[in-house]
Amino acid sequence: EDPVTGSVHSVLGQFWQERLNKNVLVAFQASQRGGQIFINQLQNTVEIGGHVEIIIEGKLKK
């Protein structure tokens, strides 16, 4: 489970972008394992990013 919910921030990015008149936002999710997220609201899409930590890695076979 991710400590920060990106899907929620993609909606919140547009909400706050309209109210603050800013395209680039920095948010903090204040949950138990919280984290910081960067939101870049583009015309028809949202870019979100932040610090990641790989816990497990694998490959899918055909």
In the structure, what pLDDT confidence band is assigned to residue 13 with cuts at 50, 70 and 90?
confident
Q: Which pLDDT score, from 0 to 100, does residue 54 have? A: 81
Cα–Cα separations (whole angstroms), residue 44 to 10, 14, 47, 53, 54: 12, 10, 10, 28, 29
Q: Which pLDDT score, from 0 to 100, does residue 2 have? A: 66
Domain boundaries, the chain: 6-49
- The mean of the pLDDT values for the chain is 85
| Pairwise pLDDT comparison (1 vs 38), residue with the higher score | 38
| Pairwise pLDDT comparison (43 vs 21), residue with the higher score | 21
Q: Which pLDDT score, from 0 to 100, does residue 1 have? A: 57
Q: Which pLDDT score, from 0 to 100, does residue 35 have? A: 86
The full DSSP string for 28-60 is EE-STT-EEEEEEE-SS-EEEE-----------
